[in-house]
A = this chain, B = another copy of it.
Amino acid sequence: DQPFFVMTGPCVIESRDLCLEIADRLVDLRESTGVKFIFKASFDKANRTSIHSFRGPGLEKGLRILKDLREHTGLSVMTDVHEPSQAAPCGEAVDLLQIPAFLCRQTDLLAACAETGKPVSVKKGQFVSPAEMANVVGKLQESGTKKILLCERGSFFGYNRLVNDMGAIADMQSLGYPVIFDATHSTQMPGGLGNSSAGAREKAPILAKAAVAAGANALFIEIHPRPDEALCDSACMMPLEWVEDTVKKCRDIFSLIRS
């Protein structure tokens, strides 16, 4: 019976300053909401829509920023892993590894992350059924870990649009592990702006509440103090000032449905 928690942060490590600005706010929110936050940011975005998109500071510099931030704020930190060779250094630097949705079936990547001993959160691919996540879980377990989390971030629903099957949260929980709901990427409209993804950030709080009411164990929310200036996924990023209300409502729904 783990308590409700929230993975959150600015998609990509745009700068040390931005990360600290956000993390400081999360420290305040931890106080005001009583909810645990895990700080998430990517050191590299390996599959941006366009080759000209900003990718991040890279592995070495990115992990240094995350470690500093953890020391500075006491927050747990997490990051994405895109290739097997990145798993070991990431596993040393952060508290939780995340596998992107497109890569959720890449056997070597799953195995390398599992072998770090750190918890691994896998996003369900937009092309994968909840039942197929049994095979993802199997690959991680056979590679020696039981610290597994699964994440719902939307399924393909015709071109340029995703949909969340809220019933799939329970289906994935039946595999024996907690299920996180990614409220911001679920609002993505892939390729919707031609050379970048569109989004509908005003839907993120709605979907977050729905997913927690459907039983999700935790939330994943990408946030930014100035979303329109965000260097990645701007269209679906949640403004920092929406977070407190969303988290409080979801925390209360979480308790209500378990009462």
Contact = CB atoms under 8 A, between A and B. Distances in A.
Interface of A: 46-52, 55, 82-84, 102-103, 105-108, 110-111, 125-132, 134-135, 138-139, 142-143, 155-161, 163-167, 169-170, 187, 190-191, 194-195, 200, 203, 206-207, 209-215, 249, 252-253, 256-257
A194 B206 CA distance: 25
The 5 A-B pairs at the shortest CB distance, nearest first, are namely A158-B158, A213-B213, A129-B159, A132-B191, A47-B105
A157 B132 CA distance: 15
Contacts of A158: 157-161
B128 A125 contact: no
B215 A213 contact: no
B160 A163 contact: no
B166 A207 contact: yes
22 contacts: A46-B106, A47-B107, A48-B105, A50-B135, A50-B138, A51-B111, A51-B138, A83-B83, A102-B106, A126-B156, A127-B190, A128-B190, A129-B160, A131-B159, A134-B194, A170-B206, A206-B214, A209-B214, A210-B211, A210-B213, A210-B214, A212-B213
